Structure 1
Amino acid sequence: MAKKVPATLFWSGEDRQYIWQKEGNTEKRERLSAQEHVFRLLDEDTSFSFQGQQGHLTLLKETRVRGGDGYWYAYRRQGKRVVKKYAGRPIDLTIVRLEELALAMQAETIQSEPAQPSHLSPSQHPQPAPSTLLQQAPLLLPKLHPPRPTASLLSRERLLARLDDGISRKLTLVLSPAGFGKTTLVSDWIAARHAREVSSQPVAWIALDANENDPIRFWHYLLVACQTFQPNLGESILPVLRAAGQPPFPRLSLETILTGLLNDLACMPGRGILVLEDYHVIQRSDIHQAMSFFLEHQPTNLHLILMTRSEPPLPLAQLRAHDELVELGAPHLRFTQEETRAFLRQALPFPFEETLLDQLQRRTEGWITGLRLLTLALRGYESFSAWEMEQRLAQISGSQRHILDYLVAEVLASQAEPMQTFLLQTTGLVRLTGSLCDTVTGRDDSTFLLEQIERANLFLLPLDESGTWYRYHALFAEAMQHEARRRLGGASLLATQSRASRWYEQHDLLSDAVEAALRARELTRAAALMTRIVESQPLLHHQELHTFLRWLRQFPEEILRESPTLSETYAMALLFTTQQRTFALKPQFEKYLQMAEHRLRALGDLPRLGEGLTLHALLSGHVNDHATAIRCAREALKMLPDEERFWRSLALDMLGIAALVAGRMTEARQIMHESWKLNPVPFEKSDARRSGSLIQQSYLALGVGHLEQAALLLRQVLDLVVDNLTDRGTALLGLSTLSYEWNRLSEAEQYIQQAYALHAETRNEWLWLQSATLLARVLYARGEHTQAQDVLQHLSPALAQPRYSREIELWLAHFALASGDLVTAQRRFAGQQTITQDETPLDIMHEQEQLLAARLLIAQGEERKVHQALSILACWRAEAQSQARLRSEVEVLLLMTRAYERLRRRQEAKEVLKEALTLAQTAGYQRLFLDEGAEMAALLKGMVSEVRAPLQVAYLRTLLRGFPTVQLSPTPASGDDVLEPLSPQERRVLGLLVAGRTNPEIARELVVSLNTVKTQVKSIYRKLDIGSRHEASEVVRRLGLL
C-alpha cells in the first residue's frame, strides 16, 4: 500500500469544495460538487487517493477475468492490518459514496480500538460554541447548560444506582408528574459521577420548552448541544439542515440529517450522555417520529436521558423487550417515609413528632416539591406545640394543586415585602437575568436578589456556571403566576411582559421579544417585531416556519391585511409546514396571498407585488393548480424589474413547468433556458435546485422522444435525492413511464409501486393520479382488465381537482373502447366532457380528448365519420410537430393508418405507418403500437415485405414479437436484416467513431466517462457483428446506418 497513486481527490476546507489533482501537477485542478461522479476523471487510472471530510481512503481498480470495466475497492490501514471494502462499479463512484465508505471504515477503526478515557472535569469539557448554525437561527445558549447541582440535603443512593445501571442501555426514562425532583436527581447524578471520577463522559443538556415544537429548531438545538462531545461535530450536516426547512423546495424528511448526525456521534472519541429535559412539551408527531429513528439507530457510545411528565410516543415496548431501557417513575422518585424523616430532620430547625410525620407522609404521598414548600412555610413556627402543629397540617389537604397553592402562599408570606413583590413580578419570565429583571421590576439590585433567592432554595435553578441566567422551577412558577394574578392583577402582569419584550428587543433577541409581546397582548408590536425578523432575509430563505405559523395564528385578520409580509408568510407557512400538499390546501393559503396582493396594489408597490404574485404562482404549482400558476407568473413578470433576477427566474420556472405539464415542449425549452441564465444559484450549491433542473430536463427529453437521455437524467435524480420525496416520486414516475413505453411491464410496475409508497407521505395528488393511471395501463396490457378499471374507479372520489376526474374518465373510456364496448366508451366520453375543467385547459389533456374523439369516430366505421376523424388528426399532427411532441405525432400517425385502412386506402395507410415506424424507431417506442391491439398487429405484419432498412426490420420484428397472437417466420440465419437496433446514444458514438475520433475525444465530446464510451463501443460492435473501426465504417457505408 506504499505504492504511489497517480491522483488525489480531497476536500478543501478553505474552498469548501472537493478538488481533483493529478500527481506532480499542482496548477491544474478540477473542482467537484458532492454529488458528482468521479469516474469521468479517471481516464486510464487504476488507483487514486481520497481525502474526504469523513476520512482517508485509497481506491484501487481490479479488472475482471472476462473483461469489462472492472470493480473498485477501498483500502484503509487499521494499525498493522489493511481493511478492504467493495466500492462499486466505475459509475458508482460518487463523492457521496466515497464519504460513506470513509465514514464506515473509520467507524470500524474506532470500534476496534479501546476507548481512551478522558480525565476532564465537568467544567473542562468543551461547551457548545456558537457555530455557523447560530448565524442562521440564534439559539439561547443557557438552555444548553445543565443546572448547577443543588446543595442536596438528602443523598438518594438507590436512585443514583438505578441511573448508573441505565448508562449501559440506550435510554433512561425519568417519568413523573411535576414536582418529583426529576431535574434535581439527574443533575445531582451527573455531579456525583464526576465527583467520584467514575466517568468523565461529557454531558449535552437541552432544557426544552414549547418553542421547540418546530422540527428545524428542535434539531438545531440538539445538534449544537452535541457539540459538547466534539466541537465540530455535525458541521457538515448544517447545510442539509438549513435546506430541510427552506422553501420553495419540498420539505425534506429528517432521516438523512439524522443519519449524518448519528454517523458523527458514532465516530466521536469516547462516550457521551445526552439529556432532554421536559420532553413532554414536544407535541409534534414528526419530531417524535424522528426521535424514534434516532433511538433505533442510536450508536453504542451515546446514552440518552429523557425527563418528562407523560409517556412519550416512542418505541418504548421495543426497547423494553431488548433490555435497552431503564425507567424511573413517580413510585421510584417519591420520598419513602425514611427519606421524608431524614429530609425533615435536616430541613427544619426543630424536631418533628412521629405521629405528625405519619400524617404528613399520608397527605403528601412523598411528593418532594410539597415537602420542600412545607419546610419553607413552617419556618418561624419552632414554638408551636405538637397539637398546634397538627392543626396547622390539617389545613394541608386536597389535591396536589390545592396543596401547592396553599404552600406557595405560605412561603410568600414568610418573605419580606420587597422580596414578595420581586418574586411575583418575575415569575412570568421564562428565563431570568439581572438586567432583564431590573427592566421588568424597575429595580437596580436584581442580580443581588436572584443570588439571595438561590441561596434560600426558593426553587430558582441556575442555568450556567457563572450564575448569569436562571429559571424558576416550572411547578413553582405556575403556582406563583396564579398568586401573582390574584395579588397584582392581570394588567400589571401584561405590563411586565411588555417591558420584558422591549428588553429582548434591545438585546437583539427578537424571537423572545415577539413571544413576550404576544403574552403582553401587544399584537401590533408583536407583528412589527415579526416583520423585522421576516424581512431580515429573503422570504424563501426562512426555516422556522412552524414557529412563524404559531405566532401568525394569534394575529387578527385586521393586522394581517395591513401587512403583506405577514400575510405572505402565513400562506407560505401553511403550505410548507405540511408534507400533504393537496389541492384542498389552496383556499387556505390563497386567502392570505390575496390579502397581500390587495394591500400591495393599494400601495402601488408593483415590484413588491411582482414578488407576491411569483410566490402565489409557486404555491399554486405546488398543489398542481397550473392555471393559477401561469396567470400569476405572467402578471409577475410584467411587474418585476430586470435586476430582480431571482424572482424573475422563479416566475419563469413556474411557466416552464406549466408548459412541460401542458405538453408545449418548444415553449418549455425556451423558457427553461431563459430561467437558467437568470438564476444566481449555482447547481452545485443546491441539491434541490439541481434536482429540479434534472427533472425538468428529463421530462423535456421524454416529451420530445429522447427516451435514453430521459432515463439517464432520471437515474441521476434518484442518486441525488433521498429524502426529497416529491422529486423522488416524480423521477420514479418518469422511469415507470419509460419502462412502459419499452414494454418492460414488470419493471414499470416496480417503479410505480415505489412512487405509490411515497404518496402515502406526500399526498401529492398529481403523483397519485399519474401513478394510478399508469398502473391501470400496465394491468390492462397484461389482460387484467377488471383490475385496471377498479384502480381508476376507486381513485376518482379521492381527488379534489375536476381535471383529474376528467383524466380518469378518459382512460376508462379508452379501456372500454379497447375491449370493443363502443357504447360504454361513448357514454364515458360524453360524461367526461361535462366535468368542469380548468379555466386554461392543458394542451396535452385537450389533445388526448380529441384523439379519443377520433378513435370513437373511426370505431363507428362510417365513411363520413372517418373523414371527420382524419380532419381532427391532421390538426393535431401539426400541433405535435410544432411543439416537438414525438410520441404524440407517432400516435396520431397510427390513428391515421387505421383511418385509411377503414377507408380501404391501403397504400396511404402503408405510407403513414412506415413514417410512424421511422419516427418511433429512434426512441424505441413499443407500447404505442402494442396498445392498438390486433388490428395494428395485422397492419405491421403486412409491412414486413415493405421495409428494407436493416435497423427498421429489426425494430419491426421486435414490435411483432410483443403482440401475443402474432407468429413470426423463422429468423434468417445470416444477413443484416436482423441487426439489433442501436440506441440514439450509440448512433452518436458510431458517428464519431467513423469520423476518426479517439475514445477520449468521444468522451469529451459527449460529456461522459471514458469507461462509458468503451462500454458503448463494445455494444455497437456486438450489435453490428464487427470487431474494428474499419469494419464499422464499412457497415455504415454499406447499410446507410447514419
Structure 2
Amino acid sequence: MLTDGDGREAPDAQAVFASTRGWPIAVQFIRFAGRAGRDGDGMGVEAFLRDYVRDNVFRDLPDELRQLILETAVCKELTVPLAEAVTGRADAGALLSRALRMGLFLDAFDGGEATIYRWHPLFARLCRAISDEEDPGRNERSHRAAARHLEQDDAFAAIFHWRLADDPRAIVRVITERWVRIVIGADAAALDRICAALPAPHQNDPAILLVRACVHDVLGAPHAARTFLAQAVAVAGDEPDQAFALTLPRAQLFLLDDRAALATAAEHVHAGLVAHAHPDRRGRAALLFLVGWAGMRHRLTPRKTIDHLRTAAREADALGDDVLAARARRLLAFVLAWAGALRDARGVLEELGEAADDTRPWLASGGGAVTVAAGMIAYWADDHEAAVRDLRRALAGERAASSFRGVAGVMLALAAARSGDDVATARAVLELDALPGGDRQGVSWGAFRAMADAALADAEGRASEALAIARSHRSGDLPLVSVVFAELIRRSGDAPRALEMLRSLGPYREVSYVRCATLLTAALVHAERGAHRLAHEYGEQALEIGTREGLARLFVGAEPAMRDLLRAHLARGTDYEDLAARGARDVSASGPVATLSPRERAVLDLLGTSRSASEIADALQLSVNTLKTHTRSIYRKLGVNSRREAVRAAR
C-alpha cells in the first residue's frame, strides 16, 4: 500500500491523473481528501473544484472574459474564428490572448496556419457544469454554434458537437452533404460507426444507408455494400426525399458495374458541379476526384477522366489538401499510362517522386496506381526487368479486392511473355486464375484473361493456339487487347486483317499505342503491295509516336517482315534512327548476338544508325574509350571486323 507523508493511504497515481489531468489544486485536494475523493464534510472532488472555480477563479474576472470561457468550454480545441463563431464576439481572439497571459488554464499550440487553444480538460468540464447550473441552455447553444462553424472544414468535429446538442437530424444532414470526402479519405470506417450509432429512425434513413453501402464497398465488403444498397432503395420507395436524390448518383459512382448507367451518373454529378457554385470547396475537389476515379475504374472517356483528376489535383493543391492532391495524381498517372499518354504519365510519376502507393482503407478497390503505372510504362518501353519488378511489387503490396491487382496480373503476364522469366510467368498464371469470370466494375476480365493466355502461349511456342485465341476476338473498346491480338495476327502473315482489327477501335484509335500499331501495320500492308513511299510515310509517323511516348515494345522483337520494313526504312532515311535500328535487330537470335550483354546490345543498335562514335557515346552516356571497348567486344563475339559487318550479323 502506498502512503503519503502523513502515513495516510495515497490515491493511485494513474487514477489521480485521469481525474485531474495534473491540475495542481485538484491533485492536492485528492491527496488530502484520500482515496474516497471526499473531504471531511463529504464534498466530492468535482463539487469542491466547481465551487473553487466559481468563487475564486471567476470572482475577479471581467464579465466578457468569464462569458467567453463558459461558452467556449464546450470545444476540445479552439481557433480564433471558432471562438468568434461560438461567442458572437469580434474580440474573441483578444480575450483568448488575455486568458493565456493570465494563466487561466489555457494552452496555445502552433497549428501551422493558426494558433490552437485548449482549455485544461478538467477546468473545461467544471465550466460546463457551471454553465448548466447558471443557464441550462448555454452549452447546447454553444455546441450548435460550434457545429455550424465546423461543418465546412471538419465534419467529424461538427458531428461531435451536433451529437452533444442532441440533434440527430443535423448529423444526418452533415453526413449526406460531406460524406464523399470522408469516404475517399482515411476515415470511412469511423463514418460507418457514426452512422450505425444514430438513433432510430435516423440510422435507417435511405441516404444514410446509401453512404454505408459506399463505405463497405471501399472497405472491401461488396456483399454488405449490396445489402445496404437494397435496403436504401426499399426504404426510399417511389418518392425519395431530396437528400436521397442528391446522394444516389454519387453513391452510384462507387457501386455500379454497368458502364452506361455509371456514365450517366458521372455526367449527372459533373453537371451539378458545373451548374451550381459548390459552397464546399473541399467537397468540390472530392467530387471531381470521385468522378475521375469512377471514370478510371470503368474506362469511361479517357480525356474526361484525365481532366477531372487533373482539376481535382489542382483544387486540392489550392486548398492545401496534400493527401487528396497526391491521391489524384497517383490515379492520374495510371489513367495516362492506360490511355497511352506515357510521356505525361512519366512526368506525373516524376512529380510524385518517391511517394509510395496509398494503402489507406478506401483503396481496397483503388490502390497500387503508382507501381502499376510504372510497370505499364516499362512494358511499353520494352524494359522487361523493370516491368516485371514494378508489377510484382504492385501485386505484393495490394489487397485481394483491388481492381488494380487484376490489371497488374494481366500486365505481368505480358511482360513475362516478353522476358521469358519463368518465375514471373508462374506468378502471372496464379493471378490470372484469380481474375473474375465475367465483367466487374465495367471491366471485361474474360477478354483480358484471353489476351494474357494468348501471349503466354505464343511465348511458349504454341503459336497456333495463340493465333486461334486472337482470331476469335471481336474488337470493341479494349485497345490493349486489340493491339496484342492484332500483333499476333500480323505476325502470322495476315497484316490486312490485323489492320482491320486496329481500325475498328473507334474512339480509341488515337490512343498512342493503338495509333502507333495501326500506322506500323499500315506501313507493312503498303510495303507488301509495293507502295513503298506510302509505307515510308506511315512508318515515319509510327516511329515519331513510338519515340515520343516510349513505345519500343511495338518495334522490338517483331517478325522478319517487320524487321525488313524497318531496315528499308533506315536505308531511305529517318529522323528516328535509334528506334528504327533497335527494331530492325533480330532479338530472338540464338547465335552470337544472344551472347551480347544488355549494354553491348544497346551499342549494337546504335551502330546501325548514321551516328558517329562520339554521338553514340553521348547518347549512351559513355566515354569514347568505353564505347570502343564495347565495340571491340561486340566484334569479337560476332566474329566480324567492321561496323557494317556487325550490323549485318545482327540482322
Regarding TM over 0.5, the answer is yes
1:566 aligns with: 208
Instruction: Answer yes or no: is the 8 Å Cα contact 1:705–1:886 preserved in 2.
Output: yes
Deviations along 1:309-363, whole A, 9 cap, x unmatched?
Answer: xxxxxxxxxxxxxxxxxxxxxxxxxxxxxxxxxxxxxxxxxxxxxxxxxxxxxxx
2:556 aligns with: 930
Please give the alpha-carbon distance, in whole angstroms, between the structure 2 residues aligned to 1:145 and 1:587. Answer: 54
Given the superposition, is the C-alpha separation of residues 535 and 926 from structure 1 closer, same or farther in structure 2, using an over 3 Å criterion? same
Instruction: Answer yes or no: is the 8 Å Cα contact 1:873–1:896 preserved in 2.
Output: no
1:610 counterpart (243, 246, 256): 246
1:946 counterpart (564, 572, 578): 572
1:326-475 equivalences under 5 Å are: none
Please give the alpha-carbon distance, in whole angstroms, between the structure 2 residues aligned to 1:763 and 1:805. Answer: 18
Please give the alpha-carbon distance, in whole angstroms, between the structure 2 residues aligned to 1:908 and 1:817. Answer: 31
Given the superposition, is the C-alpha separation of residues 861 and 744 from structure 1 closer, same or farther in structure 2, using an over 3 Å criterion? closer
2:320 counterpart (685, 689, 695): 685
1:918 aligns with: 544
Return the structure number with greater relative CO, CA threshold 8 A, min gap 6: 1
Instruction: Answer yes or no: is the 8 Å Cα contact 2:368–2:404 preserved in 1.
Output: yes
1:717 aligns with: 352
1:572-583 equivalences under 5 Å are: 572-575=214-217, 578=219, 581=220
Instruction: Answer yes or no: is the 8 Å Cα contact 2:519–2:538 preserved in 1.
Output: yes
Given the superposition, is the C-alpha separation of residues 236 and 970 from structure 1 closer, same or farther in structure 2, using an over 3 Å criterion? closer
Instruction: Answer yes or no: is the 8 Å Cα contact 2:336–2:344 preserved in 1.
Output: yes
1:810 counterpart (451, 462, 480): 451
1:732 aligns with: 371
1:779 aligns with: 416
What's the secondary structure of 2:571's corresponding residue?
coil
Deviation at 1:824, TM superposition (A): 2.2
Instruction: Answer yes or no: is the 8 Å Cα contact 1:940–1:960 preserved in 2.
Output: yes
Deviation at 1:982, TM superposition (A): 10
Given the superposition, is the C-alpha separation of residues 533 and 914 from structure 1 closer, same or farther in structure 2, using an over 3 Å criterion? same
Please give the alpha-carbon distance, in whole angstroms, between the structure 2 residues aligned to 1:927 and 1:888. Answer: 12
Q: Which structure is higher in helix share?
A: 2
Instruction: Answer yes or no: is the 8 Å Cα contact 1:749–1:775 preserved in 2.
Output: yes
Deviation at 1:735, TM superposition (A): 1.5
Consecutive unaligned residues of structure 2, counting only runs of 5 or more, are: 1-13, 37-105, 116-120, 128-136, 145-162, 594-603, 625-651
Aligned AA (2:545): L
Instruction: Answer yes or no: is the 8 Å Cα contact 1:148–1:465 preserved in 2.
Output: no
2:173 aligns with: 535
Deviation at 1:628, TM superposition (A): 5.1
Aligned AA (2:502): L
Aligned AA (1:781): R
Does 1:632 pair with 2:265? yes
CA RMSD between the two structures: 5.5
Deviations along 1:843-877, whole A, 9 cap, x unmatched?
Answer: 3x2x3444456456546657xxx54443333344x
Identity %: 13
1:891 counterpart (502, 517, 521): 517
1:742 counterpart (376, 381, 403): 381
Q: Which structure is higher in strand share?
A: 1
Please give the alpha-carbon distance, in whole angstroms, between the structure 1 residues aligned to 2:555 and 2:225. Answer: 40
Aligned AA (1:871): E
Consecutive unaligned residues of structure 1, counting only runs of 5 or more, are: 1-120, 130-140, 154-229, 240-462, 470-501, 510-524, 834-840, 984-1017, 1023-1042
Please give the alpha-carbon distance, in whole angstroms, between the structure 1 residues aligned to 2:208 and 2:606. Answer: 74
Aligned AA (1:889): R
What is the TM-score when the length of structure 2 is the normalising length?
Answer: 0.57
Deviation at 1:768, TM superposition (A): 0.7
Deviation at 1:733, TM superposition (A): 1.4
1:129-278 equivalences under 5 Å are: 151=34
Does 1:874 pair with 2:503? yes
Please give the alpha-carbon distance, in whole angstroms, between the structure 2 residues aligned to 1:539 and 1:794. Answer: 37
Aligned AA (1:807): F
Please give the alpha-carbon distance, in whole angstroms, between the structure 2 residues aligned to 1:592 and 1:145. Answer: 53
2:394 counterpart (755, 762, 779): 755
2:433 aligns with: 796
Aligned AA (1:946): R
Deviation at 1:614, TM superposition (A): 1.6
Instruction: Answer yes or no: is the 8 Å Cα contact 2:577–2:609 preserved in 1.
Output: no
Deviations along 1:86-110, whole A, 9 cap, x unmatched?
Answer: xxxxxxxxxxxxxxxxxxxxxxxxx
What is the TM-score when the length of structure 1 is the normalising length?
Answer: 0.38
Structure number with larger C-alpha Rg:
1
Deviations along 1:61-103, whole A, 9 cap, x unmatched?
Answer: xxxxxxxxxxxxxxxxxxxxxxxxxxxxxxxxxxxxxxxxxxx
Instruction: Answer yes or no: is the 8 Å Cα contact 1:737–1:774 preserved in 2.
Output: yes
Please give the alpha-carbon distance, in whole angstroms, between the structure 1 residues aligned to 2:402 and 2:367. Answer: 15
Instruction: Answer yes or no: is the 8 Å Cα contact 1:776–1:788 preserved in 2.
Output: yes
1:824 aligns with: 465
Deviation at 1:747, TM superposition (A): 2.4
2:276 aligns with: 642
Please give the alpha-carbon distance, in whole angstroms, between the structure 2 residues aligned to 1:714 and 1:616. Answer: 30
Instruction: Answer yes or no: is the 8 Å Cα contact 1:858–1:869 preserved in 2.
Output: yes
Please give the alpha-carbon distance, in whole angstroms, between the structure 2 residues aligned to 1:800 and 1:128. Answer: 58
The size of the alignment, in residue pairs, is 478
Aligned AA (2:436): L
Given the superposition, is the C-alpha separation of residues 957 and 765 from structure 1 closer, same or farther in structure 2, using an over 3 Å criterion? same
Deviations along 1:615-648, whole A, 9 cap, x unmatched?
Answer: 331x238xx8765542322234456651236566
Deviation at 1:887, TM superposition (A): 1.8
Aligned AA (1:954): D
Please give the alpha-carbon distance, in whole angstroms, between the structure 1 residues aligned to 2:340 and 2:29. Answer: 66
Please give the alpha-carbon distance, in whole angstroms, between the structure 1 residues aligned to 2:16 and 2:109. Answer: 19
Please give the alpha-carbon distance, in whole angstroms, between the structure 2 residues aligned to 1:466 and 1:634. Answer: 49
Instruction: Answer yes or no: is the 8 Å Cα contact 1:814–1:825 preserved in 2.
Output: yes
Given the superposition, is the C-alpha separation of residues 852 and 901 from structure 1 closer, same or farther in structure 2, using an over 3 Å criterion? farther
1:549 aligns with: 192
Given the superposition, is the C-alpha separation of residues 504 and 648 from structure 1 closer, same or farther in structure 2, using an over 3 Å criterion? closer
Please give the alpha-carbon distance, in whole angstroms, between the structure 2 residues aligned to 1:969 and 1:800. Answer: 43
Please give the alpha-carbon distance, in whole angstroms, between the structure 2 residues aligned to 1:945 and 1:570. Answer: 65
Deviation at 1:730, TM superposition (A): 0.7
Instruction: Answer yes or no: is the 8 Å Cα contact 1:901–1:909 preserved in 2.
Output: yes
Please give the alpha-carbon distance, in whole angstroms, between the structure 1 residues aligned to 2:368 and 2:339. Answer: 21
Please give the alpha-carbon distance, in whole angstroms, between the structure 2 residues aligned to 1:779 and 1:687. Answer: 36
1:959-1038 equivalences under 5 Å are: 959-960=583-584, 963-965=587-589, 971=607, 979=615
